[in-house]
Amino acid sequence: MDRMLYVAMSGAKETLIAQANASNNLANANTTGFLSDLNQFRSMPVFGDAHPTRVYAMDERPTTDFDHGSIQYTGRDLDVAVQDGGWIAVQARDGGEAYTRRGDLRVDENGLLVSGNGLPVLGNGGPIAVPPFEKIDIGVDGTLSIRPLGAQADQLAVIDRIKLVAPQYEQMGKADDGLFRLADGAVAEPDPLQRVVSGALAASNVNVVNEMVDMIELSRRFELQVKMMKLAEENAGAAASVVRPV
């Protein structure tokens, strides 16, 4: 009975974790540049002093789906979509360097170029500071140019160049903050071959239909595990009644 109960319990627990992963993917179906997390179950024998007699279910996130979403044109000057699997370097909340596909950029109240979630975008020498301007432009290689206040239409000043990187996918991992970093903690080198599309954004790569199907399947699997736990309880009660003195 105890084997049945604990196997069903572990299955229900891991199913809830898988549901949380699918829910997170669905919640970010419209998030710019979001890459969905893959999910899988595998059996995990319980090892001890003797031979393993029980096998539990284990849910794990082996990797991220690195297939990029489609490019959606917006016409906004500060919207950029990185081509060819590249990434925009940003300064994470912990002060370290991280990478994102989110290109809905803006200039904040401090004059810093930041991503849509407020992270400073990195250039050649750190976070990019933008002086007051009348017009701003981002070139195909990530070069940021402005027309200063009061300047003529043809007077453009190059401010900086957005750091674009393209490390191998197997070297990258997604952290809890949704940003990507190199697995060994190193910093990626700028890739001069990377190009951006100005006035466009990279859409999320979440397949809503697939995620909904997974949610339904996981919900049914959880119900089955709960039924097995109830059945274990009923079997324990029946066994106790058999040995109970009359």
| pLDDT tens digits along 47-94 | 777 777 777 778 887 889 998 889 999 999 999 999 878 999 999 999
Q: Would strands 143-148 and 157-161 be described as parallel, antiparallel, or unpaired?
A: antiparallel
What CA–CA distance (Å, rounded) separates 101 from 80? 9
The H or E element that residue 198 is part of is strand 196-198
Residue-wise burial string across 26-36, b where 16 or more C-beta atoms lie within 10 A, e elsewhere = bebbebbbbbb
Task: Give the tens place of pLDDT for each residue, 170-224.
Answer: 899 999 889 999 988 899 999 999 999 999 999 999 999 999 999 999 999 899 9
As a whole number of angstroms, the distance between CA 196 and CA 166 comes to: 12
Strand partners, 98: 90
What is the percent of the chain where pLDDT is above 70?
98
- Residue 2's pLDDT band (boundaries 50, 70, 90)? low
Cβ distance 207 to 26 under 8 Å?
no
Any residues with CB less than 8 A from the CB of 10 and at least 6 apart, and which? 56, 57
Degrees, nearest 5: CA angle 210-176-205: 30
User: Tens digits of per-residue pLDDT, 133-144?
Assistant: 889 999 999 999
Q: Is the pLDDT of residue 154 over 60?
A: yes
